[in-house]
Structure 1
């Protein structure tokens, strides 16, 4: 069995207003456009997750809305832990949800970048080379695994693609 993991950093968020929690920051105008463009790009590439795991942060939920208006996102589950966990925590959440052939995770940096680097660390198509300038907002990393995502471990992924604005 071959599985795919889509790691998506939320789109560009607005600066926090005085007194606003970071968790509650919405997308800015360019972020809204980029989220929709990501959905269009996912549909064009045939990237269809069976399950989407989304951070409960406002900017992540709005990113999901932009994608879902242009592409299939499968069943969706929301997790507060995708806002506060580190890359190891992200992998744990993925492994617990990994009885699907394709999974989209909408989350935050540095966790997504750290996770991509850990899962696809070497070889011609490694995350370190593809993400040398960092994991941009609205960036989508597509990783392939031999076997189930519930069995994914560091070093077992192959980075198939990285889509970033404005190349979406």
Structure 2
């Protein structure tokens, strides 16, 4: 059974105010607009996850809100671990998610970029060029697997698309 993984880096956040934890940084106005544009693009492309795993950090939660205003994001689970895990930890979370068809992960860099590069070694040329140029805020990697996400592994994904704010 084929599956699809959507890896989304949170939208652009403002700098932390004095005394504010990095975890609590909110989106800035361009981040709010980019999250909405990503949601509109997801809806237009019919990128609909069965389940969304979202970092509990404020900027990730606000990104989800911006997307969900325009697109179906399925059932949502918030995880503190998506703020602190490395790429290998992200892969383990994805494998254990229980998602059967498609999964959206809203998280942080460098974990998302490292993971996308490691699992999607093949893909559409334009998408691969965009990914190799870096994983910007509001960037969305769409990765297809021939098997369920429970068995997702390095080098087994195919990068179908890589949406970036400048192209939406």
For residues 1-168 of structure 1, the aligned pairs below 5 Å read 1-122=1-122, 125=125, 129-168=129-168
What TM-score, normalized to structure 2? Answer: 0.96
Aligned length: 168
Aligned partners of 1:124, 1:72: CA distance in 2, in Å?
Answer: 25
What TM-score, normalized by structure 1, do the two folds share? 0.96
- In structure 2, stretches of 5+ residues that fail to align are none
How many Å apart are 1:167 and its aligned residue? 1.1
SS of the residue 2:129 aligns to: helix
1:129 to partner: Cα distance: 3.5
In 2, Cα distance between equivalents of 1:124 and 1:35: 24
Q: How many Å separate the matches in 1 of 2:147 and 2:90?
A: 19
Unaligned runs of 5+ in 1: none
The answer on whether the counterparts of 1:100 and 1:149 sit within 8 Å (CA) in structure 2 is: yes
Deviations 1:5-53 (A, max 9, x none): 0000000000000111000000000000000110000000000000000
CA RMSD, aligned part only? Answer: 1.4
Specify whether residues 98 and 118 from structure 1 end up closer, same or farther in structure 2 by C-alpha distance, changes over 3 A only. farther
